[in-house]
Structure 1
Amino acid sequence: MGALRSRKGPADEKNDKSKKRKASSVVIHQNDPSDASQSKKRKSDADDQVDDIDTSRPTAIFKPTRGRDWTVSIALPGSWTLNAKKPDHKTIQVGRIARAAAVFCVDEIVVFDDDPSNVDPRVVSDHYIRQGKGKKSKQEVLDSILEEDEPWQNPDQFLFHVLSFAECPPHLRYNAEDPSLSIFQEHQNLKWSGCLPSMDMPHHLRSHEWSQYREGVVIGPAPAPISSTPKRKKSNVSASDELIYAYVKCGLPFPVRVPIPSGSPIEAAMRTTVRFESVNPPSSWPHLSYEDCESLQATACASSLPREESGYYWGYNVRRATSLSAVFAECEYSGGYDYTIGTSERGVPVHSILPGSTAKSEKKAPESFNHLLIVFGGVAGLEPAVANDSKLVAMGLGKQTAHDLFDAWVNLVPGQGSRTIRTEEAVEFGLCALKPWIDSMYGEEE
């Protein structure tokens, strides 16, 4: 952990040798003046405790307890970014979503279109709407939008792109030596990525931090290690039955050699999660030589394995959905989302649905869940997203019955002082309000 350092000149260093500075302390309680002796004693004890407190940053390192198979997902439309007129402001707002997802350990973010059938001429240029012959679908119009216009005219793609960039470990985003090995290429959507806050998630490892798991990028094929080269005993054993290897750059001084499943293509700039065989770092850590990195036993694995096997929070996946109904229909988890929450100022107070709450509520949240989904609306709320979805309308849902789509319909800030709750604020408020319930999923050991 890095400590804060100040720049000192020769005169300052000389003065430091002549006098010893005491650690500063904060007064929590005001002592009774009549109890002077006890006050001095308590002050002395407090000073000793302050000396033992580690105030360097970061201090709140994520500490996994045990593997978990349950997940938390959020879904929101990209239309809310249209409120910001400047691209740097848009990026800052998206950064708040990404930051909230990181802080509250969100596993998946779904970006959906809250008006899938209509192309708003106030958003998309008439040039894209009318070009070509015949009437085009909204998706065809969006696909024709040029890169330089995406931040303003394709908000869902802009949100998806920036969220994906923010989640990626910084050392994998760009490769200055060989841009072709970068996970992200230069793009108009990412031009203001410098405005994004630091995510600092567990998989955003520093070079000196060891973990059994790391995120990496494939940089090319690798020869098989000499010790693992199989000896062919039968003439009918083909080359395709042998393991193939790739070099993966994962933040260590040199790439590591990783076996790839037979028949799988080795694509440069492909991101992968790497699992090392040993939980403990090698003896030469963190000063690894080329030979040390070559000898590390590692395998490529699913990005969900650090969570499922060891309980790490390993960032969030980002998924696009063409409509609100597609958020549910295209869920990638087996069995789908088993508990869903819609957010609206017309819902019940969020605390009333939580288990253990004494507030009266018709629909209490269950004690546990497998895959939780929390859905947030755009500027006009979730109701228009339901009414604009033809599949949901065919099911008899609309603005008045939007709440029937969800297991719970909640108001995140009852009695709000401001007339509006911005979407990025709603995400923060919602995740914060639900955190005690979500944390209960860890059980007594957490």
Structure 2
Amino acid sequence: MTVSILVPSSLTREAEDKREATRKLGYIARAATIFRADRLLVYPDRDGETGRFDGGFVHTVLRYAATPPYLRNEAWGMRDELEYVGILPPLRAVSQTGSESNGSGSSRQGIVTEVGPEGRVRVNCGLQHPISLNVPPSMEVTEGERVTVRISSRRPVRAKLTDEPLPGLSVERADLSAALGREDAGVCIAASRFGEQLTVGRLETLAGRTERDGMTIAFGAPERGLPDILGIEASAVSSSDEADVQSSTEDAADDGVEPTADPGFDLWLNTVPDQGSEVVRTEEALFATLAPLSLRE
């Protein structure tokens, strides 16, 4: 099962300074990690960006947050966007903590620090020193490349390079429609206060689908929900009926207004149906949405 989270490039539009923007992004990365998301995708919302903290800033800070602590200095160095990353909450992702087991072990990210002769490389993977490993015949690696290292024992060190995807949270930039159209997108959900209210019965129906097919969940930005970002009338999604959305965009076209169609959600879902605050922040919405949707049958 693959879990993907979509957040807009305008995510930090209300932040007063870089420190506050960085802190907000830290909680986004933490929510994604707690609920074992595989991908955190930043989709463009240029009309909502304020210019100070655009999609490049959001993507960079989120990627830094998702990088294992033992690789951050080597992977990132000094960058202006990372001025306040010291306040990021630690993710402590279980896929990055290694293993003391002598059994099948665990996978960790590493960085190739040196390419040597006879198919051997030195890799920094968070152990006391970089380790020398054989490169499998099916792989080609270069200095500075991130690789997956499977560690079966740490005392003594027994490890090997694998061609598996990098473990942990992947942070990428993607168009909303492209992300929803991925082969492993699963059930595509738009989180919005205008969507269908999440109930026990609805959750029971969803649990089987998401456990089998995975899910992709999209969120909006502060003061700019998904209907605003997509140019869809809120009334068109209140029933989470795609036919209603299509009808609304056709009516807009008849009125001479250039519509933006629903990019392919299976349903619009309100996961805080009786919210006591006028505003639910995006990082709060992630926790409120991912918690119930992570339940199993």
TM-score above 0.5 = yes
1:97 aligned partner, one-letter code: I
2:169 aligned partner, one-letter code: Y
1:89 is paired with a residue of what secondary structure? helix
> What are the superposed Cα offsets for residues 322-356 of structure 1, whole Å, 9 maximum, x if unpaired?
x3223224x3xxx2413111111111112352125
| Partner residue, 2:89 | 197
Is 1:172 the equivalent of 2:172? no
Q: 1:384 to 1:328 in 2, by over 3 A?
A: same
2:75 is paired with a residue of what secondary structure? coil
CA contact (8 A) 1:220 1:248 kept: yes
- Give 1:8-157 correspondences, 5 Å limit: 70-115=1-46, 123-124=50-51, 152-154=52-54, 156-157=55-56
2:195 aligned partner, one-letter code: G
1:82 is paired with a residue of what secondary structure? coil
2:12 is paired with a residue of what secondary structure? helix
CA contact (8 A) 1:88 1:192 kept: yes
| Partner residue, 2:196 | 348
1:316 aligned partner, one-letter code: L
Query: Which TM-score applies when normalising by structure 1?
Result: 0.55
Query: Which TM-score applies when normalising by structure 2?
Result: 0.80
Alignment RMSD (CA, Å): 2.9
> What are the superposed Cα offsets for residues 279-332 of structure 1, whole Å, 9 maximum, x if unpaired?
4x26xx2xx5xxxx5xx351233236xxxxxxxxx42111102x3223224x3x
Is 1:385 the equivalent of 2:284? no
Residue of structure 2 aligned with 1:317, choices 166, 170, 178: 170
Q: Offset of 1:421 from its aligned partner?
A: 1.1
Q: 1:354 to 1:269 in 2, by over 3 A?
A: same
**Pairs aligned (count):** 271
Deviating more after overlay: 263-272 vs 98-107: 263-272
2:177 aligned partner, one-letter code: S
Q: Offset of 1:168 from its aligned partner?
A: 1.1
2:109 is paired with a residue of what secondary structure? strand
Q: Which has the larger radius of gyration?
A: 1
Q: Structure 1 regions of 5+ residues with no counterpart?
A: 1-69, 125-151, 175-181, 225-243, 305-313, 357-362, 389-394, 441-446
| Partner residue, 2:255 | none
Residue of structure 1 aligned with 2:178, choices 301, 323, 326: 326
| Partner residue, 1:275 | 150
1:411 aligned partner, one-letter code: N
Return the alpha-carbon distance in structure 2 between the equivalents of residues 247 and 172 of structure 1. 14
2:27 aligned partner, one-letter code: R
| Partner residue, 2:241 | none
Return the alpha-carbon distance in structure 2 between the equivalents of residues 262 and 161 of structure 1. 33
> What are the superposed Cα offsets for residues 3-34 of structure 1, whole Å, 9 maximum, x if unpaired?
xxxxxxxxxxxxxxxxxxxxxxxxxxxxxxxx
Q: 1:365 to 1:384 in 2, by over 3 A?
A: farther
Q: Offset of 1:251 from its aligned partner?
A: 1.8
Is 1:412 the equivalent of 2:260? no
Return the alpha-carbon distance in structure 2 between the equivalents of residues 104 and 364 of structure 1. 15
Give % identity. Answer: 30
Q: Offset of 1:78 from its aligned partner?
A: 2.1
